[in-house]
């Protein structure tokens, strides 16, 4: 009787509790690059890297590449008495040296603006730190200078304000090309790859690309940074000798 009562209790408990719910499985994302680095030398004219990967669930893919943080100065130039002079200036302390974006569909069809802002996706959401600004600068003034910085970097081919294309191959594979121009800066570049479903970031994978100098340029670059004082003195001496030589040649021809 006691055994029957225990079995009945367990059965009733099962009905009350309901069926067991399987735990949610996180969506997985595998990402790789055709090369882990970009090498700069005298003949460097730009480089293209292939990013490819696989996803185990339906959804869109977004890739964001950010270069090392740098101080960037933007000055307002005004014409005073017929002469162009720099007046106001804003210095940004954490501006990426490079910014690129790619997506499998138009970006605003994939993510709401709030998520783009929180993940700093798009040049409208760089979240720049202000190190110096004019006295009395308003929020609109700062925004104007920020827009100016983005325009300058776009002209230099270092920022993109339009997303590149991520090609979806079947239901699981994807690929996109990342372009690094000739004037790209040395340093570590962060590549964030997002798997998006129903406007939500399901998975985020971070990779890194090293951009560095090689050959004679690398030796000169390292010397300039490790022995800055000596490099500066040598640069002045070379400039003086070059100027003296050019002046002597000019006088001889005259």
Mean pLDDT of 197-219: 82
**Per-residue pLDDT tens for 31-80?**
999 988 898 887 888 999 999 999 988 899 999 999 999 999 998 876 66
pTM (2 decimals)? 0.73
Q: Tokens representing 19?
A: 């069926």
Mean pLDDT of 124-140: 89
pLDDT surpasses 90 at 135: no
Q: Tokens representing 189?
A: 């570049």
Instruction: Please give the span between the terminal C-alpha atoms of the chain, in angstroms, as a whole number.
Output: 125
Torsion of CA 238, 241, 246, 250, to 10 degrees: 170
pLDDT surpasses 70 at 242: no
Mean pLDDT of 165-176: 92
Mean pLDDT of 14-18: 43
pLDDT surpasses 60 at 25: no
* pLDDT-wise least confident of 25-29, 113-117, 135-139, 154-158: 25-29
- Structural domain 31-212, CATH architecture: Sandwich (2.60)
pLDDT surpasses 90 at 179: yes
Sign of CA dihedral 117, 120, 124, 126: positive
- Pairing assessment for the beta strands 37-40 and 200-213 based on DSSP bridges: parallel
**Res. 245 pLDDT band, cuts 50 70 90:** low
């Amino acid at each position: 009787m006691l055994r029957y009562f225990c079995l009945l209790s367990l059965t009733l408990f099962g009905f009350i509790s309901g069926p067991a719910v399987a735990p949610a499985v996180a969506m997985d994302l595998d990402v790789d690059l055709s090369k882990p680095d970009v090498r700069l030398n005298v003949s460097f004219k730009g480089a293209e890297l292939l990013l490819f990967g696989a996803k185990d669930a339906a959804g869109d893919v977004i890739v964001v590449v950010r270069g090392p943080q740098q101080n960037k100065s933007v000055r307002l130039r005004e014409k005073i008495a017929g002469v162009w002079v720099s007046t106001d200036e804003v210095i940004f302390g954490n501006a990426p040296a490079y910014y690129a974006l790619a997506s499998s569909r138009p970006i605003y069809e994939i993510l709401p603006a709030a998520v783009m802002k929180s993940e700093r996706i798009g040049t409208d959401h760089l979240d720049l730190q202000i190190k110096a600004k004019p006295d009395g600068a308003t929020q609109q003034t700062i925004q104007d200078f920020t827009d100016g910085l983005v325009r300058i970097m776009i002209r230099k081919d270092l920022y993109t304000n339009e997303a590149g294309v991520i090609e979806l191959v079947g239901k699981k594979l994807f690929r996109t090309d990342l372009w690094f121009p000739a004037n790209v800066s040395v340093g570590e570049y962060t590549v964030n790859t997002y798997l998006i479903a129903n406007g939500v970031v399901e998975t985020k994978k971070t990779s890194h690309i090293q951009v560095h100098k090689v050959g004679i340029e690398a030796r000169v670059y390292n010397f300039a940074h490790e022995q800055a004082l000596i490099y500066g003195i040598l640069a002045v001496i070379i400039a003086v000798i070059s100027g003296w030589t050019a002046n002597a040649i000019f006088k001889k021809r005259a």
